[in-house]
A and B are shown apart, each in its own frame.
Chain A
Amino acid sequence: MRFGVGERVLIAARAHEGHHRTPGYLKGKVGTIEHAHGAFTNPETRAYGTDGLPEQPLYLVGFLQREVWPEYRGRADDRIYADLFEHWLATAR
């Protein structure tokens, strides 16, 4: 597992033709590693009939809502979390 809890990560802003589980609203956003789940089968390949191996590292990543939505209505410390694969994450500068 490349990233540790508390690290800041940038979510790749790529379109990715084909099945993937990184939601559009988080692409290009910066979040913080909340939890390292370990490795899981890769839906991006499994969706095309393969076994999804090798397993890929997966993280629960948290984001401040006000940094995700320009017009977010709520508290400054409200957060949104999603489970994202390591190959969608890069160290945030």
Chain B
Amino acid sequence: MERAVHDRGGWSTGSAIDRTEHELADWELLTDALVGALGREGVMNVDELRRGIESMPRDAYERASYYERWLYSLETILTEKGILAPGELDQRVAG
């Protein structure tokens, strides 16, 4: 049975466990806090966050950092809900 991209138990990567740690960057804390605030407002829940992450194409999921996956999910789910218009965030970043 094919595995979904996030379903990693026993999915060998061939890599050792890298124990390097990093302090969360400000944008990572912000991303985390946005999810929390959206949850508190009843706009988006953690199961939706996970579903959004799981919708990433496999190569993107595996290349992305942890909070990059959260950001992808936020954009996906909020666009799905009509809170973000398609391309709206791109415009804001560019402008």
**Residues of A bordering B, CB below 8 Å:** 13, 15, 18-19, 23-27, 43, 46-49, 52, 69
Contact = CB atoms under 8 A, between A and B. Distances in A.
Interface size class of B (residues with CB under 8 A): 10 to 19
Interface of A is mostly: loop
Contacts, number: 37
Nearest to A41: B47
B1 A24 contact: yes
Interface of B is mostly: loop
B7 A43 contact: no
B10 A47 contact: no
11 contacts: A15-B2, A18-B51, A19-B51, A19-B54, A24-B4, A26-B9, A27-B1, A46-B47, A47-B47, A48-B51, A49-B45
